[in-house]
Structure 1
């Protein structure tokens, strides 16, 4: 029997790559979008409406899939948004939005899928986080915080659900060539702001390298390997060597030395 997969944010970027890859491997895949009607291209997988900021929308999508397929084997919490800016100058509502999508949304998805997974006594949840979630990056601190928080929530929920036959894990990608930048909130570079030059320079650096990321199919292949692992680890990383190695350095270097490396990288 083909396993049934739900992927949030499955209409573009990493989510779409995962959906296409798993469909080609014979899985029954349901991707999601806040507005499926706006997706004009023909997709090889099912697309249902789901807004991670709307609990009723989440529950409706899960109920629809379970009703049709009689099961839900794998859930990939992929939907996410980017944000840049000095924390001091980032509007409160934008801070709430990024946490709503990157943290509260995945939590609500897990709360919705755990009952059917517990009933069938098996299931796998993969939370797509970020290597940025392992460190506070200048002018990306809110994004780092939202993804880092999801890593810790996953650690806790693994222990809380260990008796249900449900497995939960994190997959932290580095930089990949997707369209995330088009939906990223950029706090404006304010003339006369004390952050005008350092933030402006950092934003230019980020934008210059936005298309230099790896192939999203690398993430899809890692997801497939996790699915075929009997006992998934707590954390997985996928990305360029130096991006993954940066986590190792953070664990072994004194805090101020590591901070100096980041400052040098961003030319701050």
Structure 2
């Protein structure tokens, strides 16, 4: 029998690539989007409506989901967005929205699925986080905060779900060629004192993105976790990520100097 997999945010970016690959591999995939009618005819899998910013949408989507399928085997949390900008320049309301969508929205969706996983005594929760959830970089303060929060939350949750045979895993990609930057929200508030730093950050980001890898590596990592009965919690993927994490844990000062060196070029 085909496994049923839910992929949130499946209309673009990693979510679309992951959902398409899982469908090609023979899984029954259900994707979510705020506007499923816009994408339903262009994807080979079922799409249902889900808005992470709407309490009503989240509370009703579970009921709609289980009208489509009798059982869910895997939840892949992917939906979210990026707020880019100097931390002081970002309005608090926009920062709050970043946390509301990326963190609270993901938690609410997970909580909507957990009763079904507990009842069936099985399930797997895979959350697409980011290397920025482990190592922060300039211009991503609220995005980093949302991803750090997810890392901490699911790190605790995995212990609580162990007795129900529900596994929890995180995917932490580095920089990859997706549309996340193009779809990001950038603040229009500009504080002149940051102009020099802003230009250096832009140069640093352009260089980083020019060397970004093919996102199929992230898809392959997700597939590997899907196929693993007891996946490890942390699954980093991307060039230099292992070194980056080791530097953070054992020599954070060196990592900090390397980032500042790049910004001061």
> Does residue 1:256 correspond to 2:235, yes or no?
no
> Does residue 1:29 correspond to 2:29, yes or no?
yes
Q: Which residue of 1 aligns with 2:43?
A: 43
> Does residue 1:266 correspond to 2:232, yes or no?
no
RMSD over equivalenced CA pairs, Å: 1.7
Q: State the alpha-carbon separation in 2 of the partners of residues 222 and 29 from structure 1.
A: 17
Q: Go from structure 1 to structure 2 and tell me whether the alpha carbon gap of 1:180 and 1:125 turns closer, same or farther (over 3 Å shift).
A: same
Q: Which residue of 2 aligns with 1:68?
A: 68
How far residue 40 of structure 1 moved from its aligned partner, in angstroms, is: 7.1
What does 1:86-97 correspond to in 2, within 5 Å? 86-97=86-97
Q: State the alpha-carbon separation in 1 of the partners of residues 195 and 109 from structure 2.
A: 38
Q: State the alpha-carbon separation in 2 of the partners of residues 57 and 217 from structure 1.
A: 31
Structure 1, residues 219-258: CA drift from partner, whole Å, max 9, x if none? 1111111111121111111111x133211111111x3332
Q: State the alpha-carbon separation in 2 of the partners of residues 55 and 27 from structure 1.
A: 29
* SS in structure 2 of the partner of residue 260 of structure 1: helix
**May I ask how many residue pairs the two structures share in their alignment?**
265
Q: State the alpha-carbon separation in 1 of the partners of residues 259 and 101 from structure 2.
A: 27
Unaligned stretches of 5+ residues in structure 2: none
Q: State the alpha-carbon separation in 2 of the partners of residues 170 and 205 from structure 1.
A: 27
How far residue 136 of structure 1 moved from its aligned partner, in angstroms, is: 2.2
Structure 1 segments (4+ residues) deviating >3 Å = 207-212
> Is 2:4–2:74's contact at 8 Å kept on the other side of the alignment?
yes
How far residue 201 of structure 1 moved from its aligned partner, in angstroms, is: 2.6
> Is 1:202–1:266's contact at 8 Å kept on the other side of the alignment?
yes
Q: State the alpha-carbon separation in 2 of the partners of residues 226 and 134 from structure 1.
A: 19
* TM-score under structure 1 length normalisation: 0.93
How far residue 166 of structure 1 moved from its aligned partner, in angstroms, is: 1.1
> Is 2:247–2:254's contact at 8 Å kept on the other side of the alignment?
no
* SS in structure 2 of the partner of residue 167 of structure 1: strand
Unaligned stretches of 5+ residues in structure 1: none
Q: State the alpha-carbon separation in 1 of the partners of residues 220 and 254 from structure 2.
A: 34
How far residue 261 of structure 1 moved from its aligned partner, in angstroms, is: 1.5
Q: Go from structure 1 to structure 2 and tell me whether the alpha carbon gap of 1:244 and 1:101 turns closer, same or farther (over 3 Å shift).
A: farther
Q: State the alpha-carbon separation in 2 of the partners of residues 97 and 207 from structure 1.
A: 26
Q: State the alpha-carbon separation in 2 of the partners of residues 119 and 233 from structure 1.
A: 23
> Is 1:21–1:217's contact at 8 Å kept on the other side of the alignment?
no
What does 1:1-268 correspond to in 2, within 5 Å? 1-39=1-39, 42-188=42-188, 190=190, 193-207=192-206, 209-210=208-209, 212-240=211-239, 242-253=240-251, 255-267=252-264
* SS in structure 1 of the partner of residue 119 of structure 2: helix
> Is 2:90–2:189's contact at 8 Å kept on the other side of the alignment?
no
Q: Go from structure 1 to structure 2 and tell me whether the alpha carbon gap of 1:211 and 1:46 turns closer, same or farther (over 3 Å shift).
A: farther
